[in-house]
Amino acid sequence: MKRSLFTLFVVVVSLVILFTGCATFSDSQETQETEAPTAEATATTKPPSQDIVNETDEKGVVTIIDVLGNELTLPEEKPTKIISLTPANTEMLFALGLGEYVIGVDEYSNYPAEASAIDKVGDFTGPNVEAILALEPDLILAGNKLQIDAVTQLKELGLNIAAVEATTYDEIPASIKLVGDLTMTQDVAQQLIDDMKVAEEAIIAKANTYEGEPISSYYILSAGEYGNWTSGPGSLINDMFELIGVQTVTNIEGAVPWMDFSLETLITEDPDILLMSGHAFLTVEALVAMDGYKELTAAKEGKVYIVDGDITGRPSVRIVEALEILYNAIYNQDN
Amino acid sequence: MEKDIKAQAQKKFLIGIIILAVALVIMTGVSLLTGAGMDMKKSLAALLDGEGTASVILWKIRLPRILMCILAGAVLSVCGAALQGLFKNPLCDPHILGVSSGAGLGAAIAIALGFTYSFLGVGSITLMAFATGILSIFLVTALAKSGGKVSNISLLLSGIAVGAFMGAGILLVMRMAHDKAENIIFWTMGSMTFASYKQLLYTAPIVIVTMTLIMFHSRELDMLSQGETWAAEGGVNVALTRNVILILAAIGTAAVVAGSGIIGFVGLMIPHVVRMIFGPKHSRLLPLSALLGAVFLLLMDTLARIIIAPLEIPVGILTAMVGAPFFIYILKRSVKND
C-alpha cells in the first residue's frame, strides 16, 4: 500500500517536472512557430511588392506571384466573372470599380451593402467548391495561408485562383496592386494605393503632434466567458497602433498575433485605453462590470471604446479608415 | 481476521485522505503563487503584504479560479465514480450522458439569439447551458425507456445518441447564425479563466450539495455495482436510486460545464486511479475521488496558466494530454501486480 502511494507521489512529481521542463520547450517552440509564419509571409509576399516590374519570359508572358508563392499569368482580357472568398477581397474588388463583375462572395462579405446580395459560396467552414464550380468564374480571389487547402483544391480543378490577402499592415498596398494586376485595373489600384498613403501620412502626422505621456492600449476581441482573445504583435491592429505611436500591452515575449490572453498579465500591464471590437458581443457597461476587467484603470475611468471590427480587422482599402477610427478613439477622447 | 482486513482498509483510507488533503493545501498555495502576471517572489510579497494590482491578481483572479478548479475537479470525479458504479461500466464519465453537449447546445442557442438577460447575477448563457444540460438527461432517460423499463445498456446508448445529436445541433446553430459562430467557438473553448466569486456563489452550493447527496448513496452504489438483482434482494430500490444518481450527476456536471466548458478525462480517470489503490467501496472511493480530482485539476490548471504564458490554454487540453498517459501507466502497473 505504501508502495503504491509512494509511486503515485513519484508519478505526480515527475509529471510536474516533465511539464515544467516542457514549459520551456513549448515556449521556444511557440516563438519559433510565431516567427516561422512571419518569415514565410514576408518571403512569399515580398515578390508581389518587389515585382513592380513583373517577370516577362521570352514569349512575352508575364507571370505574377501571389501571397502563397503561386505563379499566375497575367490575364489577356479583363475578368468578368469574379469570385471573392474573403470580405477584404470583396471590398478591394468594389473599390477597384469591379462590383458588377463579382458573381460570388463568402458569407461574411457585407461591405459595400451591394455585396450582401451576391451569391454566397462559402462560410466559416470554408469555400464551397461545388457552388464555386457552378458559377464558372474566370478569376477567384482567395485569402492567405488560412485558405491554403481551398486554394490547392480549386487550382487542381483547373480554376484561375489567386491568394491575395495581406497578413500584416505593410503588405496591404502589395495586395491591392496584386488584385489590380489580376483584374487589369492597375491604374485604379495605383490611385487607391497613393490616396491611402496620403491619408495615412496625414493621420500619422496628426498623431506625431501628440506630446503627452505615451498611451498604452489593449484590443478586446472577446472577454469573460468567451475567453480573453486579443491581438498580439504581427496583427493588423497592433501594427496600426504602432503607426500612431500607441503601445499595445500585448507586445510582449511569448505573444502571438491572435491569442487567448492571460487576464492577470492584462491587469499587471494595466493599459490606458481599452478598444473593443463590435464583434465582442458585449456592451461597454457589461465589460466594465466584469470581474477582472473592472480592476483596470481604463474601465474605472471609462476609457473603453467600441470600434467596428469589420473595418479594423480587414486588410483592405478601408484600413486607413480603421487607422482614423483608432486615432480618434485614442487621441480625441474628450470630443 | 476479517476485522483486521477491514481495519487495515480503514487505516489506508484515512492515510489516503490525509495525504491528498495535504497535497490539496500545498497545491493551492503553489497555484496561488504561480501565474503569468507576477512571478513567485512578487506573489509571495503580495501575499504577505499586498495591496493594489498585486492583491487584485492574487485574490480576485487567482483565488476564485483555484476554488473553481477544486470544485470542478471534485464534482466531476465524484459523478464519474458514481456513474461507473451505477452502470458497472468502466468507460463511463460525466459527459457520457449527453449533459455536456446539451449544455453546449443551450449556450449556442442563447448566443445565437442574443439573449442578454440575467437572473440573480447569472448570465443568460450560463443559465441556458445549465438548463439544457439537465434537460438532456431527462431526454436520455425517456428515450432509453422501453416497456416501462430502463436497461443500463439502453441508457448508455441513448446517452451517446443524444450527445451526438446535441453536438450536431451546436454545429447547425453555428451555421445558421454565422455571424455569431466566432462567439460560439470561443464559448465552447472556454476554460477556467472566467472564474469569479459571482460564479462560485452559485456553483459552490450546487456542487457541494450534489456531491454530498451522491455520497449518501454509497451503500446503494456498492450493491448496484454487484448487480441489479443482487441490489434489489438487498432492499435497494433500483429504479429510484438510479434516477436519483443520474439526476444528481447531471446537475453537478451541468453546473461545471455551464461555467467552465467541457473538461474531459478527469471524471473518467480519477475514480479508476482511486479504485486501483483503495478498492471499490464507494464510501471510500467517492471522498478520495473528490480530493484527487481537485488536486489533479488544480495542478493542470496551474500548468495551463504558465506553459505558454501570456497565452492561456483551455485546461481540458491538458487534462487529456497528461491524464491519458498517466492513466495508462497506472493501468499497466495494476495489471502487472495482478
Q: What is the homologous superfamily of the domain B12-337 according to CATH?
A: ABC transporter involved in vitamin B12 uptake, BtuC (1.10.3470.10)
DSSP state of A136: -
Domain match, A263 and A301 both: yes
| Average pLDDT score over chain B | 87
Q: What is the pLDDT of residues A110-146, one digit of tens each?
A: 999 999 999 999 876 778 888 899 999 999 999 888 7
CB contact under 8 A, A250 and B329: no
Range of the domain at A288: 210-331
Query: How far is the alpha carbon of A67 from chain B, nearest alpha carbon, in Å?
Result: 25
Return the residue matching grid coordinates 463583375.
A101
For residue A116, list chain B residues with Cβ-Cβ distance below 8 A: none
Cβ-nearest to B60 among A22, A266, A295: A295
**Predicted local confidence at residue B138, as pLDDT:** 86
**By C-alpha distance, which of B64, B53, B294, B26 is closest to B192?**
B64
- Same domain for A215 and A323: yes
Q: Is residue A266 part of a domain?
A: yes
The three cell numbers locating residue B25:
493545501
Q: Does B264 touch chain A (CB under 8 A)?
A: no
Q: What is the pLDDT of residues B63-82, one digit of tens each?
A: 999 999 999 999 999 999 99
Task: Please check whether residue A327 lies inside any domain of the structure.
Answer: yes
A214 and A182 share a domain? Answer: no
Residue numbers in A near B196 (CB within 8 A): 291-292
Strand, coil or helix: B122: strand
Structural domains of chain A, count: 2
A308 touches B at CB < 8 Å: no
- From B313's Cα to the closest Cα of chain A, the distance in A is 8
A164 located within any domain: yes
Task: Output the average pLDDT for chain A.
Answer: 82
pLDDT bin (cut points 50, 70, 90) of residue A25 is very low
**Quick one: average pLDDT of B88-104?**
83
Searching chain A, which residue's CA lies closest to the CA of residue B323?
Answer: A15
Residue A42 falls inside a structural domain: no
Q: Are residues A137 and A245 in the same domain?
A: no
Strands B145-146 and B149-150, how do they pair? antiparallel
**A16 in any annotated domain:** no
Residue in the block written with cell 501565474 = B35
Share of chain A above pLDDT 70, in %: 80
State which residue of chain B sits closest to A10, comparing Cα positions. Answer: B326
pLDDT tens for each residue of A80-90 = 999 999 999 99
Contacts of B172 in chain A (CB under 8 A): none
User: How much is the pLDDT for A124?
Assistant: 67
Answer yes or no: do A321 and A250 share one domain: yes
Interface test with A, best of B185, B312, B319 (most A CBs within 10 A): B312
Cα(B1)–Cα(A206) distance, rounded to whole angstroms?
90
- Please tell me if residue A4 touches chain B, with a CB cutoff of 8 Å: yes
Q: Of A149, A165, A193, which closes a domain?
A: A193
Given the C-alpha cell 458569407, which residue does it identify? Answer: A107
Q: Chain B neighbours among A 163-202 (CB < 8 Å)?
A: none
- Asked if residue A224 and residue A131 are part of one domain, the reply reads no
Q: Does B321 touch chain A (CB under 8 A)?
A: no
Q: Helices (DSSP H) in B145-281: which residue ranges? A: 152-176, 181-188, 197-216, 218-224, 228-233, 238-260, 266-278
Same domain as A238, residue A123: no
Neighboring chain A residues of B303 at a CB cutoff of 8 Å: 19, 23
Residue A264 inside a domain? The answer is yes
Cα(B15)–Cα(A29) distance, integer angstroms: 42
**Which chain A positions have a beta carbon within 8 Å of B118's beta carbon?**
none
- Which residues does residue A105 pair with via DSSP β-bridges, in sequence order? A120
What are φ and ψ of residue B234, in 5° steps?
-80, 5
Q: Is residue A177 domain-shared with residue A237, that is, in the same domain?
A: no
Whether pLDDT at A163 is above 90: yes
Residues B12-33, mean pLDDT to the nearest whole number: 95
Assigned C-alpha cell, A236? 493588423
